[in-house]
Structure 1
Amino acid sequence: TNLSTLSTVATIPTPATKNPGFLSIDPSGKYAYLTGLNTYNISVISLSTFTVVSVLKVAYDPSYVAFSPNGTLAISISAGCPGGIISHQITEINSVLNKVITNISNSYLSNPGMAAFSTNGTCLVVTSPSNKNLVLFNATSMKYVQKITSYFHPESISFLLNSNMFYATGYKCSGVATG
């Protein structure tokens, strides 16, 4: 939608993600990643041609995509598995080539909620509301660093610009955690 004219610019068919979930724009502004609920797919859409340029097949139902600040890496959060089985995975994506690199499993990730990269791109924090964890990864190696156990179920996370400080919010609480 064009905010100046309040008109629709394009309607983009996305058959691989017929049940659209979250839409994330990469830092370059060239691509949109659209998750498909119950599809195991992410449609990569060119924002200059308004066409699907790639469909990424991920291990589980994707619910959210976070991008590294430099735009070379994306993380897809797995919402769940067939039959209600709890997901313990995130998917690492090369967002320059629009290709899945690998699935990352970690027992501290119990139906991951959202993810955010530190502003310098060195750290990835993933919320795990089911078990009250914030799970930290080295964003270069994607190796597990540590978990931070919260007093609430962390759902959303965001880093303060130009800082290593992040804020997480969640449910069943009335506060904000910082790390």
Structure 2
Amino acid sequence: MKFRAVALIVGILALSIDATFSMAEPADRMPTTNVHWQIAARELPPPLAASSELYEQIAHSPQPKIHSDSTQNGIDEAQWKKLVATRQEASNALDLDKLEFTFNVSITRMNVEGVNVFEVKPKRVRSELAHAHLLYLHGGAYVFNAGKRGAYEAIIIASYTGVTVWSVDYRTALQAPHPAA
């Protein structure tokens, strides 16, 4: 029953994403004014996949002041790095061998086209889902949960669903401004 609920939620999300991309042609969404944000040497237009209402809202919102907002939470880059390092230490302490045993899965680390990936296979694969795979991108706002911590939730998902999970260990900020995956 739990699996059906998860499958239903994933199906609904897939349909809503598909609907978002096929709602209207990009020309239908162009704002009345041609406003783009300038960030460094790049120009960022509002996303064409957004609803017309969201597109208009973004198109008419002021450009963010990136440099002035970078310390809006009261911490500087050195403090961010310390916070990330502290959380990463906790992640490195996770014992994947113990988690494999506890959750009855096998974990294989691999590199796919320069991107680190954890393949998490349940020991008992559901026969009806033997060919199914789930791509998992861990949470953490592209800053936290790299490495073993990103694999942790994939372990739980694989164990409870009986589906092989591929957890992408994408690179995170602050050293890498954009994920490699």
- Shorter-chain TM-score above 0.5: no
Bin the TM-score by the shorter chain. under 0.3
Q: Which has the higher strand share?
A: 1
Greater relative contact order (Cα < 8 A, sep 6+): 2
Larger radius of gyration: 2
Query: What's the TM-score once normalised by structure 2's chain length?
Result: 0.26
Scaled by the length of structure 1, the TM-score of the pair is: 0.26
